[in-house]
Amino acid sequence: WLRLSPPPPGAASVRGGGARCGSLRASGSSASPFLCLPQMLPLLCALLLGLGPAHAAPAGHEVTFLPGLPKQPSFRHFSGHLCIGPTQRLHYWFVEAQNNPQSSPLVLWLNGGPGCSSMEGFLKEHGPFLVQPDGVTLKYNDYAWNKIANMLYLESPAGVGFSYSEDKKYATNDTEVAHNNYLALKEFLRLFPEYSKNDLFLTGESYGGIYIPTLAEWVMQDPSLNLKGIAVGNGLSSYEINDNSLVYFAYYHGLLGTQLWKDLQTFCCSEGKCNFHDNSNLNCTLKIVEESGLNIYNLYAPCAGGVPGSMRYEGDYLVTHDLGNSFIRMPMRFSWRQVTRNKVRMDPPCTNSTAPTMYLNSPEVRKALHISPDAPEWQVCSFEVNRSYKRLYTQMNDQYLKLLGAMKYRILVYNGDVDMACNFLGDEWFVDSLCQKVQVARRPWLYSEGGENQIGGFVKEFTNIAFLTVKGAGHMVPTDQPLAAFTMFSRFIKNEPY
């Protein structure tokens, strides 16, 4: 999920400490895991930090029974909280590779927002278990990414999903999140040292287009981490390019009439260049696309729940869909003080998060995943985190060029071709703007389905970076085209031709 708003200029590096903590279980005990009490957490984290590296995966974090499954898995999986500094507790869910986990790569996955949970990626995109519409049962995923990789799903930043902070302070920014994600990765490897030498890939979606390259800047400076590459799906790479490309996407997909297109050319373009990003002319607004009533995450999919208004009341909650209006630049038309008596929930428009919300908030599931009683009720996106988040970067050119300049990392930028939140044309323009040498001209790529080759989309390969589209997929590529997405992921991980 993604919400864009104008980021303030500048970025400052934020440093912090790390610690090791989480759900601990006494050896041989079948009792509920001992969860760190608020008054004990800072002391316990400090004590554990002084113990030095662990020597095996933490038994207290292993998920031994997961409700809703027809049969428990043959592979191991773990869930718990990672202590980041004195107050932050980031929730992770780690699933070992179904075959040869010792030699399989370690892949970190981050969903976007900012403020949305990576459990959405786990339970609805490419995790080993997919939540069913009843919100109770899980189904095994035939195209789970952990068939070939050890998958680490991290809920970040604090305040998202089951991640929280003891001091309840959830205001953060791009550089702080990048550093905290690096600390979380280091803490995870302190708990799971057996994976510290495995090939490492950083992957994400949507606002992960900011999270992943900024995290990679930290990781590439750490020689103890075996970083091999990054992959970003339907990512925000440049506000300006994303905005300017959207209008072209909309017109050539039949969303704008000929007269409106001519007017936009008149008002918003000069000397062959158009500006729909920060044009002072009010005629050059992206509201023509935002307010179309279409599903911005998949142009050709129906809008779950009907075409949404900007907000509605649902029980004790005020539900706002503002997160999905990815291009709003105007101030909100009302004061949030007027609604503070109601809890605010933020749902991406035209999507249905009822099933994962029901499942993850089940007391039995929370217990199985070793979720601290101090962790909040799970929601797909955090209104508080999103509202207070400071965006410090307008584009990712510097981060990509730094990775490419090292000449040892491979990069995949992939897009479902019917997504309007982060459209394929914008990310293609962005990759082109990096001015890397073309190795393979744009061509169709194929995957096998039912014994027959099908066109999965199109790919253009440069030195150490590829841009790839997935035909018929929206913002969440593995949800819409699971087999094509798995094929793409497998070829990226194994460094095979697309």
Candidates 79, 206, 245, 382; catalytic one: 206
**Which segments of the chain have a pLDDT < 50?**
3-39, 41-42, 46-54, 312-313, 321-341
Find out whether the peptide bond into 7 is cis, omega within 30 degrees of 0: no
475 catalytic residue (yes or no): yes
Active site residue 81: no
- Widest Cα–Cα separation across the chain: 74
- Choosing from 174, 199, 347, 419, the catalytic residue is 419
User: What pLDDT shows up at residue 279?
Assistant: 87
Write down the pLDDT at residue 162: 98
Q: Catalytic residue at 206?
A: yes
User: Cβ atoms within 10 A of the Cβ of 111, count?
Assistant: 32
pLDDT for position 256: 86
DSSP 124: I
Q: What structural domains does the chain harbor?
A: 1-255+292-498 (3.40.50.1820)
Q: How confident is the model over 151-192, as pLDDT tens digits?
A: 999 999 999 999 999 999 999 999 999 999 999 999 999 999
Q: What is the pLDDT of residue 291?
A: 61
Among candidate residues 104, 237, 475, 480, the one labeled active-site is 475
Residues contacting 433, CB < 8 A, separation 6+: 238, 241, 397
pLDDT digit string, tens, across residues 426-463 = 999 999 999 999 999 999 999 999 999 999 999 999 99
Are the C-beta atoms of residues 112 and 177 closer than 8 Å to each other?
A: no
- The pLDDT of residue 72 is 98
Question: What are the DSSP calls for 129-164, one per residue?
Answer: EEE-TTSS-EEE-TT-GGGTSEEEEE--STTSTT-E
